[in-house]
Amino acid sequence: MAKDNDCIFCKLANGDIPTNLLYENDLAAAFADANPQAPVHVLVVPKDHYANIIDGIPADVLAAMVDAVDHVARERGLDKAGFRTIMNTGEAAGQTVNHVHMHILGGTSLGEGLL
């Protein structure tokens, strides 16, 4: 799988559009959500283009995304405070950017889980 030239998250994750990467490893990157829904709202994305979580993402890419979640969570103190991860898949679930991304939400009480 490669980059998609028309995809904004491909460009952000690979530095083709300058952004403040909060963390990166070889296969994934983390940056702040432009429209934060919580005091901490970070997006973790693979550097290669996959549309969503069921788009055949290789295990090493998934592991790199989890590594990025781990780093961001610890750096923001969310490892102790707790946080929520969300991946929306498809229009009905509210996916607006068709490059797979994991939301990390935290820094406040988020209430009970599941919607």
In eight-state DSSP terms, residue 44 is E
Residue 10 binding target from Zn ion, ligand AMP, none, CB below 5 to 8 Å by type = Zn ion
The answer to whether residues 79 and 73 touch, using CB atoms and an 8 Å cutoff, is yes
* Least gap, CB of 100 to ligand AMP (angstroms): 9
Q: Give least dist CB 61 to Zn ion, A.
A: 12
CB of 16 to Zn ion, least distance (A): 11
Residues within the interface to ligand AMP (CB under 6 A): 8, 33-35, 43, 88, 94-97
Binding partner at 13 among ligand AMP, Zn ion, none, C-beta below 5 to 8 Å by kind: none
Which 3 state secondary structure label does DSSP give 76?
coil
Residue 54, exposed/middle/buried by CB under 10 A (0-12, 13-18, 19+)?
exposed
Residue 73 or 104 with smaller CB distance to ligand AMP: 104
101 is catalytic: yes
Cross-strand pairs, 44? 30, 102
Contact between residue 2 and residue 48 where contact means Cβ atoms under 8 Å apart: yes
Query: How far apart (Å, rounded) are the C-alpha atoms in residues 67 and 90?
Result: 25
Q: Binds 94, which of ligand AMP, Zn ion, none (CB < 5 to 8 A, cut-off by type)? A: ligand AMP
Binding site for Zn ion (CB under 5 A): 4, 7, 9-10, 49, 99
